[in-house]
Chains A and B, each alone.
Chain A
Amino acid sequence: MIVLGANSDISKKFTELVLQKEDIRKVYLLSSSPDKTINFRSHLKVKYNADVEIIKLNLLDPPKIDFSSMEYSLVFCASGYMGAQQEAVITNNEDNAKITAINYSNLILVLNEIAQDMERKGEGTIIGVSSVAGERGRKSNFIYGSAKAGFTAYLSGLRNYFNKKGIHVLTVKPGFMYTKMTEDLELPKALTITPEKAAKLIYRGYIKKRNVIYIAWMWKWIMLIIKSIPEFIFKRLSL
C-alpha cells in the first residue's frame, strides 16, 4: 500500500490495521519528514513483518516519483496541513500558500500520477482524508476549509472518473480527532474521536466500498445542519 502523509496519527493507525487484517506486506511511506518515519518503519517490520520503503514527499516542491514500479493496490492519503492558526487567516499568505499546496493544489498532482498508474493496472482503492472544514467556509479557517473543499470535489470527480474502471475512491471527512495536529486545541470530548477509532471506521468504509464517510457519524448530521443555515444568517455567526 502507498501512504501519503505517513507521519500523521491517522495514517499510522490505519496502516497498522490494514497490516493486521489484510495480506498486504509491501508498504510505501511517503512523508515530508522521512527521518521521523524511521521508527515506524521498524515497528511495521517487527510487528507485521512488512517490507517498508520510506520516500520523501515534500508537497511544497513535489518530486517526480515513479509509481509504476511499486507494488500496491491501496492508497491512503492523509497529507494535510492546518496552518499556523493565527487570528485573521487573510493576513498570512505565505502560510496560506502552504495550506493550499499541501491540502490541494500540489497534492492532487501527485494523486493524479498515482491515478494514472492505477488506471493502467486497472484495480485498487484510493482513500482520501478530507475534512468537514471543507463543507462550508468559516472565518476561523476558511483557507484550510477551501483547500479541503477543493480536495473533496477532486475525490468526488476522481470517483466518477474511475466508475466502471475497477478503481474505487473513498472520501473520508473527519470532524475532530485527537492527533498531533490538534493536540494544542481544546476539543469537545463528545465530538472528538481517537485515531484508533477513526482508523477502524475508515477500514469498515473501505471494506464496504462506501463512497463518502464522516467520522464519527454525528458529523454527518452536524454538517447537514451547518450547511442548511441560510447564508444571510450564516455570515453573522461565529463558528
Chain B
Amino acid sequence: MAVRKNITNWGNYPKTSSEITHLHDANAPDLKLSHDKKVIARGNGRCYGDASLGESVISTLELSNFIEFDAKSKTITCEAGVLLSDLLEFLVPKGFFIPVTPGTKFITVGGAIAADVHGKNHHKDGCFSSFVESFMLFVGPGEIIQCSPTENDQLFYRTFGAMGLTGVVLSATFKVIAIETSFIYQESIKASNLDEIFALFEDSAEWKYTVAWIDCLQKGKSLGRSIIMRGESASLDKLNKKQAKNPLKVHDDRIKNIPFFFPSFVLNTLSVKLFNWAYYLKQFRKKETSVVHYDQFFYPLDSIGEWNKIYGKPGFIQYQFVLPLENSKAGMRAILEEIANSGLGSFLAVLKLFGKNDSRFYNSFPIEGYTLALDFKYSKKLSGLVERMDQIVLDNGGRIYRAKDCMSRAELTNYIKAESDWFGSLQSERITMKS
C-alpha cells in the first residue's frame, strides 16, 4: 500500500496528487508494477515543472547510504537518494569536490543522472555523465541491471537525461575532483549589453567556471545588461587569513527558511526592476575580483531555504533553452526583446555558454551554444509568452531542458529517445500526447 500525497516540484506548479512508494533497499527494491499504471522515480523534487510527477511515484530519498570511497582513484559509490549536500559534507574536508553541480546542492545523485545535470564548467567538463563510471538501474519487476560503458552500454548512455524513463537508478559510481581549498577565485565583470557579454564568454573559455546573470527587463541599447562571473578553484595562497584558517571549510548547514508564501503581488515588474537595478549597481567597478566560498559561488540561493515561496502560492515556472552556437546571438536577442516587451519580469536570469556535447549521451539537454534560464511567476498571461519564446527557440533549432519544462511545445523536448512499458511521468505523457 502506498500513501497518496499532494506533491509538486520546486516551482510549486503544477501540483498533483500522487501515490508514493518509498524504496528502502537499493539491493532489492521490492516494487510491484503494473502495465496499466506507469511509475516514475523521484528524488528530492528540486526539478521544476511536471518532471518526476505522476499518478504513481517511486521515492529514492531513503536510499541514502555511501557504499565506497577510494581517495586514490577519486571514485565514490553511493545510493541514488544521497544529496549533493551530503556528498559535499563528506568530500570537502578530505580535499575533494563534486565534478559537476547545478545551482542547488539539494538534488540527489539519481536526479543528477536522470536530468544529466550541467554546471558552470560545462564548456570544460561536460555534464554529470562525463564522470559517471557505472550505475545500478531497476528496469522492471525483479530486474536490476548494472550499466557502464562496457556493460549494457546502450542503456547506460540512454539513461542520462532521460528523466527516469529508462528505470530507477539505485546507486552509482562516479569520479570526484581534487581541490586544494573549498574556495573559488572569482572575477565578476559587468557587461552593458548583449554583444559585450557574448564577447566576455568567448574570452573566458579558459576559465573553469563561467556563468552570467542577466537583467531581462532592459531594452534597446541596454538589452542584455549583465554580469559575468568566472571562477577557478582557489589555491591556498589566494585565501585571506581568515579563510586560510580552514581552507577546506564545508558549507553551513543552517539555513534561513522563508516562513510563508509571499502574497503573489509582492513580485511584480517594479520589484524585479528594483532588484535587478540594485544587483547591477552593487558592483561599482567594471571588474571585481574576490575569493568566495563554494557555497556562495555555486549555491547562492541555497542559504535561503524555500526561496521558491517568494513567488506566492501560484508558483512559478523555469524556462531554460539552448540555441545552437551559430543561431545563439540572433535568437537570444529576439527572446530577450520578447521578454522585455512582455513586462513579465524574471528575477535572476542565468546565461551560460555550453561547450561541445558528447554525442554518445544523446538524451542530454546541452548542445554547443548559449543557454538561458529564466524564472516566471505563474499567471494566465504566461502561456502566451511561452508560446512566443518557444517559436523563437524552434526557429533557431534550439531545445528546452526537460528538468524545467511544463508547458513548452513537444517539438522542443522530444529529443529524448527513451520508452518503457513501466516508466512514465506526467511530463512524458504530456509530451507524447502532443507529439
**Chain A residues at the B interface, C-beta cutoff of 8 Å:** 9, 35-36, 38-40, 42-43, 46-47, 180, 183-186
Residues in B49-76 with C-beta less than 8 Å from chain A:
62, 64-69
Q: Are A185 and B3 in contact (CB under 8 A)?
A: yes
Q: How far is the CA of A36 from the CA of B62 in the complex (A)?
A: 13
Q: Are A183 and B65 in contact (CB under 8 A)?
A: no
Chain B residues in 8 Å Cβ range of A42: 65-68
Question: 6 new A-B pairs (CB below 8 Å) besides A46-B66, A46-B67?
Answer: A38-B27, A39-B79, A42-B66, A43-B67, A47-B90, A185-B3
Which B residue sits closest to A40, measured CB to CB? Answer: B65
Which one of B1, B27, B28, B69 lies within 8 Å of A46 (CB-CB)? B69
Chain A residues in 8 Å Cβ range of B69: 46
A178–chain B nearest beta-carbon distance, Å: 10
Q: How far is the CA of A183 from the CA of B65 in the complex (A)?
A: 19
Which of B18-26, B95-103, B199-207 faces chain A? B18-26
Q: Are B28 and A35 in contact (CB under 8 A)?
A: yes
- Say if the beta carbon of B334 comes within 8 Å of chain A: no
- Give 1 or 0 for each of B8-47: 1 = CB within 8 Å of chain A CB: 0000000000000010111110000000000000000000
Q: Are A184 and B68 in contact (CB under 8 A)?
A: no
Q: Are B25 and A36 in contact (CB under 8 A)?
A: yes
**Which applies to chain A's interface (DSSP): helix, strand, loop or mixed?**
helix
Q: How far is the CA of A39 from the CA of B170 in the complex (A)?
A: 12
Q: How far is the CA of A140 from the CA of B62 in the complex (A)?
A: 28
Chain B residues in 8 Å Cβ range of A35: 25, 27-28
Q: Are A183 and B3 in contact (CB under 8 A)?
A: yes
Which B residue sits closest to A185, measured CB to CB? Answer: B3
- Say if the beta carbon of B330 comes within 8 Å of chain A: no
Q: How far is the CA of A36 from the CA of B1 in the complex (A)?
A: 20
Chain B residues in 8 Å Cβ range of A43: 64-67
Q: A35-B28, A38-B27, A184-B1 are in contact. Are A46 and B22 (CB under 8 A)?
A: no
B193–chain A nearest beta-carbon distance, Å: 49
B239–chain A nearest beta-carbon distance, Å: 27
Q: Are A180 and B24 in contact (CB under 8 A)?
A: yes
Interchain pairs with CB closer than 8 A, number: 41
Q: Are A39 and B90 in contact (CB under 8 A)?
A: no
B424–chain A nearest beta-carbon distance, Å: 23
Q: A35-B28, A39-B27 are in contact. Are A183 and B68 (CB under 8 A)?
A: no
Q: Are B66 and A180 in contact (CB under 8 A)?
A: no
A5–chain B nearest beta-carbon distance, Å: 14
The 18 listed contacts between A and B (C-beta, < 8 Å) are A9-B62, A35-B25, A35-B28, A39-B25, A40-B65, A42-B66, A42-B67, A42-B68, A43-B64, A43-B66, A46-B66, A46-B68, A47-B66, A180-B62, A184-B1, A184-B2, A184-B3, A186-B3
Chain A residues in 8 Å Cβ range of B79: 39
A46–chain B nearest beta-carbon distance, Å: 4
Chain B residues in 8 Å Cβ range of A184: 1-3
B109–chain A nearest beta-carbon distance, Å: 14
Chain B residues in 8 Å Cβ range of A40: 65
Which B residue sits closest to A180, measured CB to CB? Answer: B24
Chain A residues in 8 Å Cβ range of B22: 180, 183
Q: How far is the CA of A38 from the CA of B66 in the complex (A)?
A: 11
A93–chain B nearest beta-carbon distance, Å: 22
A84–chain B nearest beta-carbon distance, Å: 11
- By CB atoms of chain B within 10 A, which of A40, A183, A185, A186 has the most? A183
B324–chain A nearest beta-carbon distance, Å: 42
A191–chain B nearest beta-carbon distance, Å: 17
